[in-house]
Amino acid sequence: MKKPTRRAAVAVGAAAPAELRLADAPMSDIIDALAGGRATASALTKAYLARIAAYDRGGPMLNSVRALNPDALTIAAKLDDTKPSARRPLAGVPILIKDNIATSDKQPTTAGSLALEGTRARADATIVKLLRKAGAVILGKANLTEFANILAVDMPSGYSSLGGQVKNPYAPALMGKHDIPLVQPGGSSSGSAVAVAAGLCAASIGTETSGSLLHPASRNGLVTVKPTVGLISRAGIVPIAHSQDTAGPMTRTVRDAAMLLNVLAAKDLRDPATERQRRPADYTAGLAPDAMKGARIGVPSDPDDPLNDCYYGKLPPDGAKVMTAVVEVLEDLGAVIMRANMPTRGWIAGPGTNMAVLNRNPLSSNKGNPTGSPIVFLYELKHGLNLYLQDWATNTDIKTMADIIAFNAAHAEKALRFGQDLFLAADLTKGDLSEREYKSARAMDLLAAKTRGMDAYMNQHKLDAVLFPGAMGAAIAAKAGYPSVMVPAGFVSGADGKDTPDYPLGVSFAGPAWTEHKLLRLAYAYEQASNMRKAPPGLAAL
């Protein structure tokens, strides 16, 4: 397999100030150092490149950065005399973006696919334009699960045929002859998450359709915001399903996530979903330690109804212990805890929403058996991906999903380690979203997840937010198009019956559309009281 092109990272010139501790520094501290003249964009960029060389390319070889921006140091040098301000709040801040987000510079946009190796974009994605306008240094592209984990059933998170396997920095061991992570690095935005956790950038941008921000944030001890669909433009992002896709920030603190949301949340004529956007002037306003007082928090768990306790009832003992401690902190902060199961009808994957896809993954223990996959994802995938290839992709002969399937089949040894069963299923659809089964599935998703799920639960108990362990609430919130905020909550260990080092478990606060500001305030209060984030071991300052 041809190894991905990677530009060597060499630290030269001035170092970043030691007091910043780049291995674990919040983005807000980095901005303060830049504003105060204690750091420059060039020094920070060089320092992060050195950490990438030491820990992503060397040492544990985390493999979270698929490719570096060859112009990163040039961009940084031009920003050395520009300090962060209200107009350019991220001036000089090095940020990684997931490699399914288009950039019109020298960096290809590949979604981790060999079929798209060398593919460039006609223009910057809208969120990249906003980051550049705010003064960010685009450090490079983060590795990801190929095509955001819609290529094959049972593909390990963080694997792409072009970029290889991302490792969890808390438990980086791979197992067996196939070198699959024992502790997965999370959902498809795993490279974005691992890079932030390991201190390889100030912050990063990932994307989610259902869990791809929340899961890696949970597994890597990070904060993320999975926004309301329409808060952040998707224009220029390789799609899965337009009804659920969104981008979001990956950071070490709630304040950092709020600061990035200030930059990213903007209306965009290229994404009609943003037309109905509602947002405050400043997401950092009101972040206070006492913001939890009097908040009504739903805990969808009723021990008296164990068969219906689908979010908490099957937690392993260490996960249950973490969540018990979380609830105790919330109560100490003055929250009103409402314990009640979600209505059974709120469960996702209900009648008419899934279709059976034959599992052709040669490394899957379930090979040869049908696996349920969301109808909405597969039908919207072909429609959206073909439009992206038509409207955004250049420097490639790949024009349709069928072209990708054909390329992969012709290069199966390198491109199809885990197969492409989901692409094969998606390509059988018309691609114009005219089918009745698609429309019915989308209506059923909204009925189950939104009307009879989140809406019914929150209205019945008059809730400000719903509390979920890790990313377990990702699907029901995502299908409703609702926001979630993840914050570190503790540590667990063990996977597939095997012992592992401790790795993080987060907790997510979910709520109705456009309530990101409220959820951030609640998450901030919990974060300040619990202080549960700890950096991965063995990745010390250089």
Catalytic residues: 98, 188, 212
List for the chain the helix, strand, coil content (%; round to 5). 35, 15, 50
d(CA 281, CA 268): 17
**Distance spanning both ends of the chain, measured CA to CA:** 32
H/E stretch holding 372 reads strand 370-374
Please list the residues that pair with 504 across neighbouring strands: 491
The separation between CA 43 and the C-alpha centre of its own chain, rounded to angstroms, equals 28
CB 241 within 8 A of CB 195: no
Cβ(279)–Cβ(515) below 8 Å: no
Q: Return phi, psi of residue 415, to 5°.
A: -95, -20
DSSP 433: S
> In the numeric block, which tokens belong to residue 541?
């300052």
- In the numeric block, the tokens 């944030």 are attached to 217
Task: Pick the closest to residue 170 from 158, 157, 185, 192 (CA basis).
Answer: 185
> CB count, 10 Å around CB of 340?
16
3 state DSSP class of 225: strand
Q: Rounded distance, CA 250 to CA 271, Å?
A: 22
CB 303 within 8 A of CB 315: no
Phi first, then psi: what are they for 138, rounded to 5°? Answer: -75, 105
Amino acid at 173: A
Would you list the DSSP string of 240-284? S-TTT-EEEEEESSHHHHHHHHHHHB---TT-GGGGG----S-TT
User: Which run of H or of E encompasses 365?
Assistant: none
- In which element (H, E) is residue 386 found? helix 375-391
Distance of alpha carbon 44 from alpha carbon 125, whole angstroms = 25
